[in-house]
Structure 1
Amino acid sequence: MKIERCGGRAIDKGGERRGRGRRKGSKPEHQVWRIIPATYQHVEWLGELERTRGDEFDFWTPVLKRVNHPVDIMVRPDLQNLLRTLLQHRGLGFHVMIDDVGKLVSSQMSELSERRENGRLSGTALSGFDYNVYHTYEEIMQWVDDVATEYSHIVESFLLGYSYEGRPIKGIKIRGTGSHDANPRAVWFEGGIHAREWISPATVMGFTQKLLDEYDNGDNLVVEMFDNLDWYIIPSLNVDGYSYTWLSDRMWRKTRSLNAKSACIGTDPNRNWPYEWGGVGASTWECSDTYRGERAISEIEVFNAIDFLRKKKDDGQDFIVFIDFHSYSQLIIAPWSYLESEPRTEDYDDQMALALEMQSAIKDTHGVVYNYGAGADILYACSGVTSDWGYGTFSTHGGNTDGGLGAKYSFTVELRDEGHYGFLLPADQIQPSYEEMHAAVRALGAHVLNEMSATVQ
């Protein structure tokens, strides 16, 4: 069974793992530890540990600038004694959130195999598409085609481009039948930029389907949303990495591009965007999960998205919303992330007003609470990320390649959960996740429509 190693981790789809110092009768496992910093000194130290040794310790959650906020780290067997000692020296305790990551991976993959063997995932036609299970890359791309066929009166599919390994990256564009603007303002949603975050593509597909059905059923708000805005939706952007999580390493995060100066594979596509690329919070080491790439836009998947959006802007289409869906932590993150001092944008108050409306809609659905704020306010600063580029000032396609999209409402949304399962969220949480995001998108649509109407008046 193939084992992939990069940055010290080695977990494969069957849940097997290889660690140094393993003895017969002893079964060290990859574990996820939860650490709760009780002081700001603890917070600072954990942030430094993430920045300097993130290649060894896989931080499943970022270190927020708040005491008592949990930090989850996946620790491979041969480093558990070392981390335990480091924590003891700092007066920090921990408890094990997941005692055997490999077993949880194996259980999830076995469940999916069983569903296929029993015929419950035998077809991908839209009428039989199961939104409450995780789907392969091929099934997600088929969903794009089937949605475009089923809702051809308002949906068309488009090819964003091809991945490093040659896979097509497809999306859909939604424009209501009542649209009378040749180039209406637009919304961009993307999922799956980090490969192991399976809940992201599943959630994007789930809430999209609900909105499409509501439009056809004459829901007043959704009709207004689709008739007055264009909606571009990419369920899975990092398709090579996503495919790899199904085939070899469930915990893979990055792209699958080769690095000329290292045997380690891949770049973090959420550190590769050109707006303020190469600063804090992005690693220069190819083996790191937050490796920024040799240069900005080195990853073809990132290039495809930026090139598509810049061409739309050049053609006169203005984007008001840009959202990148991730997991996990239940956060709504606005710019700036790259700027640690004074990280709030000039649109901060409006961005927080919308985030609050989205938070309320989410909570009203299933009682789940999402926190929100500017990236470097609630996280440590990081650079080359999507939400900063989405908000950054636009430059014409032939001009300054460092420019952003100019979308006022540019967010990173971190989906469920808060760490009990982390990236291995069970399939029974897919539906509540897309239901609460569906409510959030409706709140977003109402907010943007009201703002557009007020501007016209």
Structure 2
Amino acid sequence: MNLVGIIFVLIAVGRFSEAKYEGHQVWRIIPATYQHVEWLGELERTRGEEFDFWTPVLKRVNHPVDIMVRPDLQSLLRTLLQHRGLGFHVMIDDVGKLVSSQMSELSERRENGRLSGTALSGFDYNVYHTYEEIMQWVDDIATEYSHIVESFLLGYSSEGRPIKGIKIRGTGSHDANPRAVWFEGGIHAREWVSPATVMGFTQKLLDEYDNGDNLVVEMFDNLDWYIIPSLNVDGYSYTWSSDRMWRKTRSLNAESPCIGTDPNRNWPYEWGGVGASTWECSDTYRGARPVSEIEVSNAIDFMRKKKADGQDFIVFIDFHSYSQVIIAPWSYLDSDPRTEDYNDQMALALEMQSAIKDTHDVVYNYGAGAEILYACSGVTSDWGYGTYSQHGGNTDGGLGAKYSYTVELRDEGQHGFLLPEDQIQPSYEEMHAAVRALGAHVLNEMSATVQ
């Protein structure tokens, strides 16, 4: 799409989304008791189609829960909260106005020529980019760093868009099949800071490698790194063209007018359990079957082929927004959700948390999924950790990556999914620090195992 076309789209989606979300508010509710926490968790499970929970309900007293509320449901929710002795305050007074403001800012910048194009030399990591620009970035990164980077086609989306990623292997690698890391962003369409953050910290690491940074050289020479900046490319494109707050894929659902599936409820490991809706119109719709979404199938098929060819994955991270949490498996279990590697997973999460805090003094919580959140099934991090089934198909088993996490990025609800662009750089800077901490931890563990 040329610049004029992009500007037109941005103006159109800004006006459309403002009207669509006019009067929608985001309410912050702070549960003061465990009874409040349990009730909010039940409300999310039973009425999540009516009330859009922007943050999951953590199993913690005094941890805020943000809900986007339509104008016609505000009186109802106010009454329900009053009956439970719960108050709230308005975090975002009018979502429609905030959407329109963000899209207008994007179109104004492009119209005034303040975006230097998509060539890598002029790529601005501190602004949001379209799907086309992100895919161009993949190609340009592979060209610029061709001595250690190659691009690959993960597959095509349900609407036929290419989904591309990069593989990084250092020049000092001597293993035909080194252990591997998988990073993916943008599985939920409206979480724009996810692809932006993944691209930002990737570029910083690549520069550090070329500048001889000892840690990054060891990271890239001893591990393969597979990085997908945007997995749900149809949904992401739709947030630029039609609905800024769209979450799901854009696949058709048989016998339903409602479009899309939640790709983070569609992974096959323990698919179809709690915390995933069977209703096609829900934002957490699990799909008609496990791996119904071609985007999920593409990712699983790619990693299973690597496993079959002898490459083991030690890290799997799915980057989301928002709420600043590092979430380890298990998420599908209602009780006793800690894995057998829980202590090691929490040790690494603590190191990542410390690195993040040391960067911009931002605090991330961490824990096992269903222990700090309410249970949900069919999610990425459970599949990432689940035992690999060598002879199974793409609905059997998981990846077998010891360090599998979902990372919820900035912020804590002041802007939610509409994070301003001035927070992109601090987001990728603190994740860059977290990835360095992760690399050091994994390398130390690998070294200790060899010894």
Band the TM-score falls in, shorter-chain normalisation: over 0.9
Whole-angstrom distance in 1 between the partners of 2:434 and 2:21:
43
Mapping of 1:183-332 within 5 angstroms?
183-332=177-326
Shift of 1:17: 2.7
Whole-angstrom distance in 2 between the partners of 1:398 and 1:232:
23
Q: Secondary structure at the match of 2:240?
A: helix
Are residues 167 and 400 of structure 1, via their aligned partners in 2, closer, same or farther at CA, if it must alter by over 3 Å? closer
Aligned partners of 1:13 and 1:249 also within 8 Å: no
- The residue that corresponds to 1:349 in the other structure is 343
Are residues 169 and 397 of structure 1, via their aligned partners in 2, closer, same or farther at CA, if it must alter by over 3 Å? farther
Q: Deviations over 1:283-334 (max 9, x none)?
A: 0000100000000000000000000000000000000000000000000000
Match of 1:386 among 362, 380, 384: 380
Are residues 12 and 340 of structure 1, via their aligned partners in 2, closer, same or farther at CA, if it must alter by over 3 Å? farther
Aligned partners of 1:395 and 1:401 also within 8 Å: no
Whole-angstrom distance in 2 between the partners of 1:328 and 1:13:
25
Q: Deviations over 1:193-229 (max 9, x none)?
A: 0000000000000000000000000000000000000
The Cα RMSD (Å) is 1.5
Shift of 1:12: 6.2
Q: Deviations over 1:110-138 (max 9, x none)?
A: 11111111112141000100000000000
Are residues 20 and 129 of structure 1, via their aligned partners in 2, closer, same or farther at CA, if it must alter by over 3 Å? closer
Aligned partners of 1:361 and 1:443 also within 8 Å: yes
Whole-angstrom distance in 2 between the partners of 1:370 and 1:206:
19
Mapping of 1:116-135 within 5 angstroms?
116-135=110-129
Give aligned pairs, total: 440
Shift of 1:401: 2.8
Are residues 397 and 168 of structure 1, via their aligned partners in 2, closer, same or farther at CA, if it must alter by over 3 Å? farther
Are residues 85 and 403 of structure 1, via their aligned partners in 2, closer, same or farther at CA, if it must alter by over 3 Å? same
Runs in 1 of length 4+ with deviation above 2 angstroms? 10-21, 397-402
Are residues 300 and 155 of structure 1, via their aligned partners in 2, closer, same or farther at CA, if it must alter by over 3 Å? same
Aligned partners of 1:15 and 1:104 also within 8 Å: no
Q: Deviations over 1:135-191 (max 9, x none)?
A: 000000000000000000000000000000000000000000000000000000000
Q: Does 1:52 pair with 2:46?
A: yes
Are residues 187 and 20 of structure 1, via their aligned partners in 2, closer, same or farther at CA, if it must alter by over 3 Å? closer
Whole-angstrom distance in 2 between the partners of 1:287 and 1:394:
32
Aligned partners of 1:336 and 1:388 also within 8 Å: yes
Q: Secondary structure at the match of 1:424?
A: coil
Whole-angstrom distance in 1 between the partners of 2:154 and 2:391:
17
Shift of 1:90: 1.0
Shift of 1:261: 2.5
Q: Does 1:72 pair with 2:74?
A: no
Aligned partners of 1:13 and 1:247 also within 8 Å: no
Q: Secondary structure at the match of 2:287?
A: coil
Shift of 1:396: 1.7
Are residues 81 and 112 of structure 1, via their aligned partners in 2, closer, same or farther at CA, if it must alter by over 3 Å? same
Q: So what's the TM-score if we normalise by structure 2?
A: 0.96
Shift of 1:417: 0.3
Q: Deviations over 1:84-108 (max 9, x none)?
A: 1111111111100000111111111
Shift of 1:16: 2.8
Query: Percent sequence identity over matched residues?
Result: 92
> More deviation in 306-315 or 117-126?
117-126
Q: So what's the TM-score if we normalise by structure 1?
A: 0.94
Aligned partners of 2:14 and 2:104 also within 8 Å: no
Shift of 1:19: 8.5
Whole-angstrom distance in 1 between the partners of 2:16 and 2:146:
40
Aligned partners of 1:354 and 1:447 also within 8 Å: yes
Are residues 257 and 158 of structure 1, via their aligned partners in 2, closer, same or farther at CA, if it must alter by over 3 Å? same
Aligned partners of 2:331 and 2:370 also within 8 Å: yes
Shift of 1:400: 7.4
Aligned partners of 1:268 and 1:291 also within 8 Å: yes
Are residues 19 and 323 of structure 1, via their aligned partners in 2, closer, same or farther at CA, if it must alter by over 3 Å? closer
Are residues 400 and 428 of structure 1, via their aligned partners in 2, closer, same or farther at CA, if it must alter by over 3 Å? closer
Are residues 18 and 385 of structure 1, via their aligned partners in 2, closer, same or farther at CA, if it must alter by over 3 Å? closer
Shift of 1:398: 4.2
Aligned partners of 1:192 and 1:325 also within 8 Å: yes
